[in-house]
Amino acid sequence: MAVKVSITQNITGLLGKKDIHLTCSFFPENGEQIFSVQIIAKKISEDFDEKKNIIAVFNHGKAAKLTRSGGYLDGRVTLTNTETNSSHNATLKFHILEMIDEKDYMCKWFYSDMEDAIQNVKSDATRILVKVPVRDVIISKQPNNKKYDEKTDNITLTCTANGNPKPQYIWFKENNSNNVISRTNHYVIDDVIRNNSGIYICESYNNINNVNFTHSNSVKIIIEKLLPKIESESPKIFAVHAAFAIPVTCAVVFVVICFTVRKRNYKRQERNEQAVTVIYSEVNEETKLKYRLTHIQATALNHYNVQQDAVDGALEVSSDPTLKYNMITGKLEVHTIV
């Protein structure tokens, strides 16, 4: 007789959702005894490896456990082994569903038949799909300006969002949601005029198990008639100010330098004049002193000459008896020049 087995088919769960069940069921015939169940999981893009891909084992009479390959499920699942007279159920219950759980699954039973021969049987494969409601809606604009001139060629708005299935998009302006202006992820404002200013809204959505999930974001566009001179004149004004400011600054610096140098030279000249005055005074005093010494020396020399003449005269008189007699008798006059 054929053994009847089953596995929960085509499970779709939301990211982070709780209480997702994967159940392997075995319905034995008379005399068949099950002693082990294995749950095998693989990536969707790979093939099953019945040895390496075992994530959980349910042994008869023992507590179910995760294998090394199923370690990524630790803390997020509960294993339950339920036996009745008519069935044997091995259940893997997800408490928190994550993207890594999006895989293909298969159950494999080991049992003994009526003749106590060891047999095994596998279920069909099933798949758990992890769906993500749309989220993280972001709008970018090109060019990225706060305000736009009416002369701008165009403004491109781009909307991006995350989700599984892939999100879809619609665009409309604030207070006019019934007028959809685009059904793609971007919208181009070709007519850049003031009337097209306003708040543009991107609404992104996806459908999971016939339930629509939506998320939106908005951007404010300001279009004005800007005067180009406001920006273009600014560099000119700055250049003019710089043209005046630089020479004036240089002139002020030059005047300060000249004043400093002149003041320094004046002080130096004043010190030189004081030094010359002192030197002149000293020279003058020295000159006067030399003059006095010379005068004294001349006077002394004159007196010396007179005295010498007198001595010479006295010697001459004493050596000449006639002259000595005439001087005594008064016949010879002696004149002394002072």
Domain assignment present for residue 276? The answer is no
Q: Reply yes or no on whether the pLDDT at 211 is more than 50.
A: yes
DSSP 8-state class, residue 124:
P
Domain assignment present for residue 70? The answer is yes
170-194 tens-digit pLDDT = 999 998 889 999 999 999 999 999 9
* Total count of residues recorded for the chain: 338
93-135 tens-digit pLDDT = 999 999 999 999 999 999 998 888 999 999 999 999 999 999 9
Euclidean distance between CA atoms 100 and 235, whole angstroms: 58
pLDDT value at residue 236: 55
**Do 72 and 169 belong to one domain?**
no
**Do 24 and 99 belong to one domain?**
yes
Domain assignment present for residue 194? The answer is yes
Q: In the β-sheet with 77-83, what is the strand arrangement from edge to edge? A: 4-7, 20-27, 88-94, 77-83
| Residue where one domain finishes, among candidates 224, 256, 278 | 224
Please write down the long-range contacts of 211-214, taking CB distance under 8 Å and 24 or more positions apart. Answer: 213/133, 213/134, 213/163, 214/134
Confidence of residue 226 (pLDDT cuts 50, 70, 90): confident
Confidence of residue 156 (pLDDT cuts 50, 70, 90): very high
Q: Which structural domain range is residue 111 located in?
A: 4-124
Q: Reply yes or no on whether the pLDDT at 162 is more than 50.
A: yes
pLDDT value at residue 276: 41
pLDDT value at residue 248: 53
**Do 85 and 16 belong to one domain?**
yes
Domain assignment present for residue 185? The answer is yes
Q: Reply yes or no on whether the pLDDT at 265 is more than 90.
A: no
**Do 182 and 108 belong to one domain?**
no
**Do 100 and 150 belong to one domain?**
no
- Residue 74 makes CB contacts below 8 A (sequence gap 6+) with 66
Q: Reply yes or no on whether the pLDDT at 148 is more than 90.
A: yes
Q: Reply yes or no on whether the pLDDT at 222 is more than 80.
A: yes
Amino acid at 31: G
**Do 25 and 81 belong to one domain?**
yes
Q: What mean pLDDT is reported for the chain? A: 81
| Residue where one domain finishes, among candidates 62, 90, 124 | 124
pLDDT value at residue 268: 62
- Residue 85 makes CB contacts below 8 A (sequence gap 6+) with none
Q: Reply yes or no on whether the pLDDT at 79 is more than 80.
A: yes
pLDDT value at residue 84: 84
Domain total in the chain: 2
pLDDT value at residue 335: 47
Return the top range by mean pLDDT from 19-28, 131-140, 290-299.
131-140
Euclidean distance between CA atoms 281 and 274, whole angstroms: 11
Confidence of residue 60 (pLDDT cuts 50, 70, 90): confident
**Do 144 and 113 belong to one domain?**
no
Domain assignment present for residue 302? The answer is no
Domain CATH number, residue 54: 2.60.40.10
Instruction: Tell me the CB-side half-sphere exposure of residue 216, using CA atoms within 13 A.
Output: 13
pLDDT value at residue 256: 58
Euclidean distance between CA atoms 112 and 331, whole angstroms: 196
Euclidean distance between CA atoms 83 and 100, whole angstroms: 30
Strands 223-224 and 148-149: parallel
**Do 103 and 79 belong to one domain?**
yes
Euclidean distance between CA atoms 45 and 23, whole angstroms: 23
Q: Reply yes or no on whether the pLDDT at 73 is more than 70.
A: yes
311-334 tens-digit pLDDT = 455 555 456 666 555 555 555 454
Mean pLDDT, range 242-255, rounded to an integer: 58
**Percent of residues, the chain, with pLDDT higher than 90:** 55
Domain assignment present for residue 292? The answer is no
| Residue where one domain finishes, among candidates 188, 207, 224 | 224
**Do 138 and 119 belong to one domain?**
no
Instruction: Answer whether 17's CB lies under 8 Å from 213's CB.
Output: no
Domain assignment present for residue 95? The answer is yes
pLDDT value at residue 225: 87
Mean pLDDT, range 188-212, rounded to an integer: 95
Instruction: Answer whether 29's CB lies under 8 Å from 106's CB.
Output: no
Q: What is the pTM of this model?
A: 0.60
Domain assignment present for residue 91? The answer is yes
275-309 tens-digit pLDDT = 445 444 554 565 566 656 666 665 655 555 545 55
Instruction: Output the six-digit token pair for 233.
Output: 């004149």
Residue found under tokens 């992890």: 130
**Do 164 and 74 belong to one domain?**
no
Mean pLDDT, range 26-47, rounded to an integer: 91
